[in-house]
Chains A and B, each alone.
Chain A
């Protein structure tokens, strides 16, 4: 220590002494700030800035003088952080963050990529969900629109049937909670008198239809009340905008023109607005329901038991769906009393429009959306983990920064800026990725899964959604590391010694890993359930040979082919011509075709129990039908050309039919030769002999049981004894399918160009479209859970690598004290498995309870399926152990000598 110096004469004090500058308030500290800023300005000007710029920049860089002046002098409290200083700080933080990322690009890339993938997936799914579920339907006030489905209710199970014309009129007259009640019967029309005959999709609609759906005519008008109710044999139609443009070339004089529909003259009275799609979402023309003669026998309108009409309506203001449903229950009970036989078990089920259009697609989309969010949380936890590890690596820097005066708020802000910057980068990439993913994925979504009004695109809404999510993820994933680091200080670090760093930060990391494992388990369980359900569906033997089998429909117009004989001649000529096409090997006819979805139901009776109605589905088939589909005849014989209108009534039945109708001895051999009434049991003419029993054929929905509930056993009648109007023409194709099908189409046109073929499909394609939904669900969930699993594995790996590094001295010490390398490795793996075990437990519990959400999509698998749960749990633990392998080996390689040099 030197001798005391005289402060007034310092040798190292070589400056000219001056009095303090005079400033207002005579405040020394304020004078010091002014001088500080002057010096800064001077340097900035020297660096090439203009004076004004330099002054602004200097003010900004200096930050908020009030903040520190307050600490020493408690000056003016109003001068807290201003907008400018806040912006400055954010910019500073941002620069700092970017500099950090440049220094450590691997970390930044990993974090950004993880977020981008998760965000892209989420945004894509949100876009689809938004388009199909969240957006309003293309009708005004569509939330109030309901379909009123006529149902058959037995044992609490409801089978959809539609309404009969008289039933519909009764509903219309009696309902007060739904008004108006209208029908929109979809029908395919043959449009001729234009360039090329074609089938168009139309609707027969009743009074109030256009009003309830908000349809306006762009040209001409919609139907008058008179046209809607009076049957005078004249026909009118309104065209869709699309049909008008495509077929009529947008002819402005189309109103008033006469076209031919189903070979009848129909006057065009209007063209609908471009955006009007009709209740069937995509109808091309409309005709009044009262003009039923266009499509069939007008007497049908007087039927009480012929049920096929779709009915819809609007809930009156103030009415709820429940109230309306309750009203329809009482209407149904009233009708059952008035018409006991015709209305037995008849009820109505009100279904909101959106639910009706979406079906299980809505469930699927919500589940995928939820799965996407889980994935995002897993990804976010990984990013948080990365930040935490990084923040920890920077403990020294942060502690020093704190020591030199940065307050904890400032450090938190700094770290948050980093995570939000990462999230933003991930978000931008994710958004681009979402657009790409959507474009790539949409064509893969099978037809019929999404309603036709849904046109998913990465919209402004999707953008907003992504933005919201990424800010949340950015803040959430940054907050934990930020708080952890900001609170950690050098003093406690020192005081608590080695343990300090394994405190809060590590707990947070463990929580992240547990969360990740838990969520990944939920996704895996979901994927597992859907996959098992898919496998169960694919395992169903539809009882058919797909190879090359195709079918199309024709509907000979009743004007041109008035009687069954004319229809017979036409269809026989048709099948002869189709059979002549090279490449076609077999042709057969039927009233309907397997896996198309619908077939007609009726009642059969045993002669010895005429009071017991047995609901069956019936099909009219030509003799070689089973031969083409290679359905095996188990006993008896197939139909022959000898089974015609002259011969006695014969039927063939399925095994399921035999079991249902003859439970006492359903063996095929015993059933052949027995008799059933098909139709009125009191009419001896309805009695038919069972001549053959075939194996079960999945005619309708693949997943419906053969006999229970809405499905019922099948019965076959020779087409010669009962001729349908709409025919399925089925044939087998060999060779170049496209060329053969083109030739078939030409052949059909040559027979009668006014009867175009429609609904051409391959049996394989029908089967695929039936399994499309479960396939899609299983594939998407599977993809999600694989990504989730990898992310969780990365998370476990990261945390273990970190803790192993941290425990370095301890591990070395243990090794020095005699622990084997394998002991050390085992303890690291065991740590991972324990952690994952907690995650599996928590996730398993959550999965068990969340499983109900999947119920609607599952087939023959229970949501709480223990096998799936156990299997995925074990799989996750195994993945955790594998993820732990590398850190474990690293730990085991630590030489005991390290301990000595480190300590």
Chain B
């Protein structure tokens, strides 16, 4: 796993994990991640949207324009089966990896 794979991989995992619960638009994903992480993960739009588009291109996400609860038009994303499978394998690797990191950091 190369360095850049790791970064994008992390964000990918966070996105896939959020979308597994419910399909969301970009704005909603950002908000959900922020709330779930207690405000630590304030993801920049400059990273979020490129990641969504990339995941869509790779076939891990699919997208469609729909209406929000309040009737606004927005582009929604949800994971494909490939995406769900990817999330599961990568989650395991992340757990392993973060354990290693914690060890290194001496926590």
- Per-residue CB contact flags for chain A residues 374-397 toward chain B (1 = under 8 Å, else 0) read 000000000000000000000111
Q: Which residues of chain A are within 8 angstroms of B105 by Cβ–Cβ distance? A: 395-396, 501
Interface-lining segment among A63-71, A356-364, A833-841: A63-71
List chain A residues, Cβ under 8 A from B75: 20, 28, 31-32, 35
Return chain A residues, CB-CB under 8 Å to B28. Answer: 39
B50 close to A403 (CB less than 8 A): no
A side interface size, CB within 8 A: 62
Is the pair B46, A71 in contact by a Cβ cutoff of 8 Å?
yes
A15 touches B76 (CB 8 A): yes
Judge whether A12 and B23 touch: CB under 8 Å.
Answer: yes
Contact of B41 among A21, A71, A400 (CB under 8 A): A400
With A2-B81, A42-B70 known to touch, is A805 a contact of B2 (CB < 8 Å)?
no
Q: What is the CB-to-nearest-CB distance from B75 to chain A, in angstroms, rounded to a whole number? A: 5
Known: A21-B73, A32-B49, A396-B101. A5 touches B81 (CB 8 A): yes
Quick one: which of B7, B26, B78 has the most chain A CB within 10 A? B7
A497 interface contact, C-beta 8 A? yes
Give the residue name and chain of the B residue nearest to A65 (CB). Answer: B45
Q: Would A406 and B44 be within 8 Å (CB), given that A18-B73, A491-B2 are in contact?
A: yes
Q: Are B101 and A18 in contact (CB under 8 A)?
A: no
**In the complex, residue of chain A having the shortest beta-carbon distance to the beta carbon of B53:** A72
* CB nearest neighbor in A for B43: A404
With A17-B66, A36-B26, A397-B40 as known contacts, state yes or no: A68 contacts B46, CB within 8 Å. Answer: yes
A764 lies within 8 A of chain B by Cβ: no
| 0/1 string, A6-19, CB within 8 A of B gives 1 | 01001011011111
Which residues of chain B come closer than 8 Å to A50, judged between CB atoms? none
By beta carbon, the residue of chain A nearest B44 is: A405
Is A494 an interface residue, CB under 8 A from the partner?
A: yes
Residues of A within 8 A of B32 (CB): none
Contact A404 B65 (CB under 8 A): no
State in angstroms the CA–CA spacing of A428 and B14 once bound together. Answer: 43
- Which of the residues B27, B40, B49, B103 comes within 8 Å of A68, measured between beta carbons? B49
> Does B7 lie within 8 Å of A63, measured CB to CB?
no
Interface set, chain A 485-505, CB cutoff 8 A to B: 489-494, 497-498, 500-501
Chain B contact residue count (CB 8 A cutoff): 52
Interface: B22 (CB within 8 A): yes
| Candidates A13, A490, A903; contact of B6 at CB < 8 Å | A490
Chain B: which residue is nearest A67 at the CB level? B46
A491 with B6: CB separation less than 8 A: yes
Q: Chain A 705-732, CB within 8 Å of chain B: the 1/0 string?
A: 0000000000000000000000000000
A91 at the interface (CB under 8 A from B): no
Q: Is A38's CB within 8 Å of the partner chain B? A: yes
What's the nearest-Cβ distance from chain B to residue A891, in Å? 14
Residue A455 lies at the interface, judged by CB distance under 8 Å to chain B = no
Q: Give the chain B neighbours of A10 by CB distance below 8 A.
A: 23, 78
Instruction: Specify which of A15, A29, A406 is in contact with B67 (CB 8 Å cutoff).
Output: A15
What residue of chain A has the Cβ atom nearest to residue B37's Cβ? A400
Indicate with 1 or 0, residue by residue over B29-42, a CB within 8 angstroms of chain A CB atoms: 00000000000110
Q: Give the chain A neighbours of B100 by CB distance below 8 A.
A: 494
Q: Which residues of A contact B (CB under 8 A)?
A: 1-5, 7, 10, 12-13, 15-21, 28-29, 31-33, 35-36, 38-40, 42, 62-65, 67-69, 71-72, 395-397, 400, 402-406, 410, 489-494, 497-498, 500-501, 805-806, 808-809, 902-903
10 pairs from A and B in contact (CB 8 Å cutoff): A1-B84, A5-B81, A7-B64, A15-B68, A16-B67, A404-B11, A490-B101, A491-B4, A491-B6, A498-B104
Q: Knowing that A72-B53, A404-B47 are A-B contacts, what are 9 other residue pairs whose CB atoms are under 8 Å apart, sorted by A's residue number?
A: A10-B23, A12-B23, A15-B68, A39-B27, A39-B68, A69-B49, A71-B46, A405-B44, A405-B48
B interface vs A, CB < 8 Å?
1-4, 6-7, 10-11, 14, 22-23, 25-28, 40-41, 43-51, 53-54, 62, 64-68, 70, 72-76, 78, 80-81, 84-85, 97, 100-101, 103-106
